[in-house]
Amino acid sequence: QIRDYHRRNHSARFVSETDDYEELLKEEPAIEFTGEEAFGRYLDLHELYNEFINSKFGSLMEYSAYVGTFAQTEKIAHNLKATRPYKEYLEHILEYLMSFLYRTEPLQDIEKIFTKLESEFEEQWINGEVPGWENKGTEKESVLQESAVDLDYYSTVEELVELGPEKLKEALTARGLKGGGTVQQRAERLFLLKHTPLEKLDRKHFAKGDDLKKEIALIEMKMKRLCEILDEVIVRTKENAEKKLTLTYEEMEAEREEEEVQADSESDDEDQQIYNPLKLPMGWDGKPIPYWLYKLHGLGQ
């Protein structure tokens, strides 16, 4: 896993045998947070919120409401989701959540999580079982019935040509395939399904709109998976946003300063951890008592 990490991250620092390990351990990692994130305590979704409320697929709402619902993409109509702007918006969310996780939970193997999710997604997509896109399979099934082209009754491309351009186009688009080209080309494209299952067909035969929907559905699944991992942070962020609605500017500033002091004190406490492997009783000065004193008074009996 270490080798794979360095293979993927060429800019990662390589520690050689000649390096001074003690000096390296003294180095403080440079982790940057926005003021809103409060050192990783909350998410900062303000840019994404503004992008959402100013889009065609979004709606006006309070920031606190957005924090609690931004992962509920199934509430957005499919015709509004199957667009480039919506895909870009999703990518921005995913990018931010990954960045937040890298900074707050660096041991989370996001690539491993996504690899497993992608394999599950392929099977769910074929079966029309992707959350929020469940109707995909049934919609196609109803359109297929309407197109009424059963390939079992056709043994040659020439027989399909006799159906005419419009009928062939209906049959192709019902299956998510490109419907353009000459009558001969449409018949040849449809005839491919005579011996090749739809899911194994070369992607070049599929309409771009269907590919876009699939890409969007996968990004949604990835985003929701990260939201599951960050569930506590999201709840905390929503509560903080709701509380801010009732605070004055001075009260918010005072609270922010208090959080900064708390973060510094927690860091100091970690630096001052007392080494006590024998679990000796603590003395008046807050340090373990000497071992000889412990034995002398028979405290270990």
pTM here is 0.62
Specify if 195 maps to a domain.
Answer: yes
Q: Which domain holds residue 284?
A: 276-300
Per-residue pLDDT of the chain (301 residues; tens, 9 = 90+): 777 766 766 655 666 666 666 676 666 667 789 889 988 999 999 999 999 999 999 999 999 999 999 999 999 988 888 889 999 999 999 999 999 999 999 888 999 999 999 989 988 887 778 888 875 544 444 444 445 678 888 889 998 889 898 888 888 877 778 888 899 999 999 898 888 887 788 878 877 666 788 899 999 999 999 999 999 999 999 999 998 888 787 777 777 777 666 655 555 555 556 667 667 777 766 777 776 666 666 654 4
Q: For residues 213 and 225, what is the distance between their CA atoms, to the nearest angstrom?
A: 18
pLDDT value at position 244? Answer: 85
DSSP SS3 for 198: helix
Tens-place pLDDT, residues 157-200? 998 889 898 888 888 877 778 888 899 999 999 898 888 887 78
Residue 6 has a CB neighbour count (10 Å cut-off) of: 12
Query: Which of 207, 232, 252 corresponds to the end of one domain?
Result: 207
Alpha helices in 175-300 (DSSP H): 183-191, 208-229, 231-244, 249-271, 291-296
pLDDT value at position 296? Answer: 64
For 111, the token pair is 């690539």
Specify if 288 maps to a domain.
Answer: yes
CA-to-CA separations, 84 to 162, 211, 219, in angstroms, rounded: 37, 12, 13
Count how many domains the chain has: 3
Same domain, yes or no, for 87 and 118? yes
Q: For residues 169 and 186, what is the distance between their CA atoms, to the nearest angstrom?
A: 7
Query: Measured on CA atoms in the order 290, 293, 298, 299, is the torsion positive or negative?
Result: negative
pLDDT value at position 99? Answer: 94
Specify if 9 maps to a domain.
Answer: no
pLDDT value at position 21? Answer: 64
pLDDT value at position 219? Answer: 96
For 270, the token pair is 């970690």
Same domain, yes or no, for 171 and 288? no
Same domain, yes or no, for 43 and 125? yes
Same domain, yes or no, for 146 and 54? no
pLDDT value at position 95? Answer: 95
Query: Which of 207, 232, 250 corresponds to the end of one domain?
Result: 207
For 153, the token pair is 């009754």
